[in-house]
Amino acid sequence: MMTDDIKHYPAEIIEKQTAAFLTAFGMPDDYVAITASIMTDADMRGIDTHGIACIPNYHERQTNNWVTLDGPITVVRDNPATALLDAGGCLGYPAAHRAMQMAIEKAKKVGLGSVAVRNSAHYGAAGYYSRMAAREGLVGFATTGTSAPRVVPALAAEGALGTNPIAFTAPTKRNKPFNLDMATSTVASGKIRNKAVEGQELPLGWALDRDGQAVTDSAEYRNGLNMTSLGGTRELGNHKGYGLGAMVEIMSCCFTGASFVMSPNHGKRTPGTMELGHFFIAINPVFFREAGQFEETTDQLIDDLHATTPIDPSQPVLVAGEPEDMIEEERAKTGIPMPPGLRAALAKLAGECGAKFYLS
């Protein structure tokens, strides 16, 4: 792919395009506004796998009746510090947004809030929701279940968990919020695909074949590769990544009754819903210390970590979230890059579903 072919668009245009698709798919306006805004935020922060690139995938899910884009969000249970929401089979964005808002309100009143969501689907980048809490001066935490069991437990030969992400955000004053948003696999499957496209060798510890054997030949991607749990190999602690992946599955599914990624026919067992689960926590630091002290300590920690002697002076030590903050700053000027393959796919899809096309 030639870089010359990559066009750049301002965030407003990408958001408008995303919204046009979602509307054409039958999503109601209030859900569209929230969903398009969260998806475009991912594109702005360089999380290109979780923005407008998801549109063809969402179209497929809608066409196959795996999601209900106008599904009602219902509050199933509501207590002073906890709640359970039902996403009505919709894509996860509107319910997840509502859930974190409720967790924030509860944490402001009683110090803590945790809200679980069931009957949901893909909700984009987990870190969006934990960052919502940090904007309100709270610590935020988010997890989600996933749709494909491609991550292999320690000692196993086959996939049993998804990429099961964890997001954690802490408020600061001087620095940007600390924002960890990580899959509990060694790498995202997109990174393996990219190596395959470029014909490059895979680092040992990224991928496994269907017998659980380590693979470094990226051409094997065609035959279907699984991903390792963070740690990569038993010797380098993949039982820890596996443990974290199982923790995320428990938080996302056991509090909600959502379908496990290993459940037979997962994602397709009930028409109109993928039955994914999410979990959100907000914690209010002023219930522990005076206002501002939590942020002061966290800023000090970030300053201390920045002051670590770098191995390569041109690559200073960063903290979680800063790579995305830098991309966001850059893209505010350059716009969001749109590779030609994706643009062509979106143009074709716009024609098929009657959405207006803004990326010409």
Which residues inside 145-164 make contact with other proteins, applying CB under 8 A?
Answer: 153-158, 160
Other C-beta atoms lying within 10 Å of the C-beta of residue 78: 12
Other C-beta atoms lying within 10 Å of the C-beta of residue 289: 12
Kindly tell me which residue out of 221, 260, 278, 324 binds other proteins, with binding defined by CB under 8 A: 260
CB of 64 to other proteins, least distance (A): 25
CB of 293 to other proteins, least distance (A): 6
Distances (CA, A) of 358 to 21, 79, 144, 221: 11, 44, 32, 34
- Stretch of residues binding other proteins (CB under 8 A), selected from 29-37, 46-54, 287-295, 347-355: 287-295
CB of 189 to other proteins, least distance (A): 14
CB of 350 to other proteins, least distance (A): 37
d(CA 328, CA 67): 30
Which residues, 172 to 201, sit near other proteins by CB under 8 A?
Answer: 178, 180, 182, 186-187
d(CA 203, CA 211): 18
What is the DSSP annotation of 67-94?
Answer: --TTPPPEEEEE-SSEEEEE-TTS-SHH
Distances (CA, A) of 139 to 37, 100, 281, 295: 22, 11, 8, 10
Window 322-351: contact mask with other proteins (x via CB under 8 A): ------------------------------
Kindly tell me which residue out of 38, 96, 133, 253 binds other proteins, with binding defined by CB under 8 A: 253
The answer to the question of residue 308 lying near other proteins (CB under 8 A) is: yes
Which residues, 109 to 148, sit near other proteins by CB under 8 A?
Answer: 110-114, 116, 139
Which residues, 208 to 227, sit near other proteins by CB under 8 A?
Answer: 212
* Nearest residue to 114 via CA among 280, 277, 252: 280
Kindly tell me which residue out of 60, 304, 329, 352 binds other proteins, with binding defined by CB under 8 A: 304
